[in-house]
Structure 1
């Protein structure tokens, strides 16, 4: 593999609480009785899709209030241990190219991610406002392939959710499970790789032998 495309939330950055706690706060304020498990299941997809799945009746207002609250929960987010070191090695190899393909729109990315100084490790970025369909559709991954001028058979998409795996396979590329966040279960039996730590991404050729 020479083309590495990454999800952000739950893959590079542990940001679940930063997003889900304010969402729960706003839903509770508006009288929605939504379980923690239901909220957890929509982590990692676009806000619009998440609110649709949660059957929110007034999504525009809820999203507005939700996003206004996120800045109050920024202290809960951090880069996963080992991510920067692994990205540094991948990006330094001239044989590799790296990209981010995220369900965030560009403004959200700069609001929530740029502060972690990950940008220098990537050759391209794909945001959800550049494509028509969010995950599990393949659009984000396909746009990443296009921007990198990548060969699909030499490309891997690394993420932490079922939506990520479905998007990768719909784009006909390998999927690597971010096992430092999500443990492999029967739901991920079709994952091509299970990386227990970020450093294992550097051994991908050996893992495929």
Structure 2
């Protein structure tokens, strides 16, 4: 029986990953004369920059200054993403989850301030029973900790939840948590090789929560 929905944030609620991709491309070109391609960027989507930067350093024998990267890019991302709208179908989907009497949690590799800011801006924050972020766990995706924490907070069994994700790192985390996952790719993660998911849709407007709950096993 379906009792709860767990939503990712970046790439699911807002389409922020394309903003980040452009920032990474610009920064690496200016600072290291390196041309980042989408397939490389996907290493960090749903997680953070460390996996990508380690891979680039090993491949190219250069050192990436993490502190400089954060100083140069953090405010730029805030400015560029500040007015991003919710993704197609997100608002109606979130409302339908609560109308169906289901619990709702966010589980994101971002720190708390970002999702809280945007969910408040959208008037959606009160729909969430819990918000689980990188501030609440030791390891972010692709580790399962965020989802396991959400399950614990919701006081349900992992078999009673469904996760909504866009990235393969998120899918891996869901798989490792033992929770079913629906994939909603965006302009970045559509390039990922998604594996081991329950369903894949173009947007959350395609997900009928009543039907999902009735068909859930």
TM category, shorter: 0.7 to 0.9
CA separation in 2, counterparts of 1:80 and 1:62?
Answer: 27
Count of aligned pairs between the two proteins:
207
* Distance verdict in 2 for CA 1:105–1:205, change over 3 Å: same
Which structure has more relative contact order (CA 8 Å, sep 6+)? It is 2
CA separation in 2, counterparts of 1:162 and 1:141?
Answer: 14
Select between 71-80 and 169-178 the one with higher mean Cα deviation: 71-80
Could you tell me which runs of 5 or more consecutive residues in structure 2 were left unpaired when the two chains were aligned. Answer: 58-62
* Distance verdict in 2 for CA 1:49–1:104, change over 3 Å: farther
Aligned to 1:204: 212
1:51-200 matches, within 5 Å, as 51-55=53-57, 57-74=64-81, 77-94=84-101, 96-111=102-117, 114-179=120-185, 187-199=193-205, 200=207
TM superposition shift of 1:32: 4.2
TM superposition shift of 1:173: 0.9
TM-score normalized with structure 1 length: 0.85
Aligned to 1:46: 48
Preserved contact between residue 6 and residue 161 of structure 2 (Cα < 8 Å): yes
C-alpha RMSD over aligned residues: 2.6
SS in 1 for 2:109: coil
* Distance verdict in 2 for CA 1:22–1:79, change over 3 Å: same
Preserved contact between residue 17 and residue 77 of structure 1 (Cα < 8 Å): no
Measured against aligned partners, the alpha-carbon deviations of 1:131-152 in whole angstroms (never above 9, x if no partner) come to: 1111111001001111111211
SS in 1 for 2:183: strand
Select between 134-143 and 9-18 the one with higher mean Cα deviation: 9-18
> Which consecutive aligned stretches of 4+ in structure 1 deviate over 6 angstroms post-superposition?
none
TM superposition shift of 1:13: 1.2
CA separation in 1, counterparts of 2:98 and 2:179?
Answer: 20
TM-score normalized with structure 2 length: 0.83
TM superposition shift of 1:189: 4.1
Preserved contact between residue 15 and residue 76 of structure 1 (Cα < 8 Å): no
* 2:17 aligned with 1:16: yes
Measured against aligned partners, the alpha-carbon deviations of 1:20-74 in whole angstroms (never above 9, x if no partner) come to: 2222222222124032312244222124444444435211221221112113322
TM superposition shift of 1:171: 0.6
